[in-house]
Amino acid sequence: MMSERPLRLLIIGAHPDDADYAAGGTAALYRDHGHVVHMVSLTNGDAGHHERTGPDLARRRLAEANAAAAVIGATYEIFPIHDGELLPTLENRAAVIRLIRRFEPDLILTHRPNDYHPDHRYTSQLVQDAAYMVTVPAVAPGVKHLAKNPVIAYLPDTFVRPYPFTPSVAVDVGAVLDKIVHMLCCHQSQFFEWLPYNVGILHEVPQDASDRRLWLEQQVRDRLRQQADRFRHVLSACYGPDRGRRVEYAEAFEGCEYGSPLDAVAARRLFPFVPDAGAFLAQREHEPA
């Protein structure tokens, strides 16, 4: 069911491909239902390659990000901060506050604060530090403050310390799998060059473009299938037991307590393409303490 006005989804990642990698399916579903999506990288990605670095790589990654956003009719923004050098400074906090105020999101998705990459950790910290402050007029003046704190949720990961990712809502992304793959194929410098090199499988990347797409598609299918299995209990609550068992590819998100609450009511509003996005949260709300 369409809301009175289009919902506004802001995905804030650390690098140009983080947003679409972790939440590309949900972004595509937002766009398919007429909502607005803006993806952001807080660094310019200029260190993410084994052969090309600096301004040349930053320009390439900006072009790749814009091409990926165009696949679903979203927009992409990249901050002019060097890859690997993001810090939770007051200056960067003010920039994130202004970003959030300008876009006026209903929902923000970002990294969790415990992560292997310092840029991911500091992106999470900056978003959390901006929460509430976006409503304070005297902080980061020049862009009008928000009347209400947006809902913030974390992107999925597999880290277990200090606690594992704890999903609040899960999304069946099988209907938009081709769009996810298409978006990630746009990031050629990452998925066909740097990341395979970094994990020692560059020799496995096919040379033919169509074969490369199939190669990447299989990786995407494997990852999202594993997530569906991992979050099956949440899918069963959100989609009902029958469909929940049959979901093959999924994304999931964990509410951050620093934004407005991601409760059952908010989940149903923010994920209108999920039959009962608030069901799992409602179950948790009624569990004995």
Cβ partners under 8 Å of residue 222, min gap 6: none
d(Cα 46, Cα 52) in Å, to the nearest integer?
A: 8
**SS3 for the chain, per residue?**
CCCCCCCEEEEEECCCCHHHHHHHHHHHHHHHCCCEEEEEECCCCCCCCCCCCHHHHHHHHHHHHHHHHHHHCCEEEECCCCCCCCCCCHHHHHHHHHHHHHHCCCEEEECCCCCCCHHHHHHHHHHHHHCCHHHCCCCCCCCCCCCCCCEEEECCCCCCCCCCCCCCEEEECHHHHHHHHHHHHHCHHHHHHHHHHHCCCHHHCCCCHHHHHHHHHHHHHHHHHHHHHHCHHHHHHHHCHHHHHHCCCEEEEEECCCCECCCHHHHHHHCCCCCCCCHHHHHHHCCCC
- Note the pLDDT of residue 183: 98
Single pTM value for the model: 0.97
Under 8 Å between Cβ of 158 and 165:
yes
> CB-based contacts of 13: which residues, under 8 Å, 6+ apart?
19, 21, 22, 39, 40, 41, 42, 110, 111, 120, 123, 155
CA 122/CA 61 separation, integer angstroms: 21
Classify strands 250-255 and 169-172 as parallel, antiparallel or unpaired: antiparallel
Q: What residues contact 167, with CB distance under 8 A and at least 6 apart?
A: 156, 231, 234, 252, 253, 254, 280
- Distance of alpha carbon 271 from the chain centroid: 14
What integer pLDDT is reported at residue 1 of this predicted model?
43
So what's the pLDDT on residue 4?
79
Question: What's the CA gap between 17 and 85, in Å, rounded?
Answer: 17
User: Over the stretch 155-203, which tens digit does the pLDDT of each residue have?
Assistant: 999 999 999 999 999 999 999 999 999 999 999 999 999 999 999 999 9
Instruction: Tell me how far apart the alpha carbons of residues 20 and 67 are, in angstroms, rounded to a whole number.
Output: 12
Output the pLDDT for position 288: 63
Largest CA distance in the chain: 56
Q: Which residue has the tokens 């990341």?
A: 195
Taking the chain (289 residues) in runs of 10, the rounded mean pLDDT of each run is 80 98 98 98 98 97 98 98 98 98 98 96 98 97 96 97 96 98 98 98 97 98 98 98 98 97 98 98 78
Q: Give the pLDDT of residue 285.
A: 75
Q: Report whether 95 contacts 80 (CB < 8 A).
A: no
Residues 108-132: tens digit of each pLDDT = 999 999 999 999 999 999 999 999 9
Query: What is the predicted pLDDT for the residue at 2?
Result: 46
Find out whether 12 and 42 touch, Cβ atoms under 8 Å: yes
| Domains recognised in the chain with CATH numbers | 8-285 (3.40.50.10320)
Tokens 């595509």 found at: 28
Give Cβ neighbours of residue 266 (< 8 Å, ≥ 6 apart): 151, 260, 278
Average pLDDT, the chain: 96
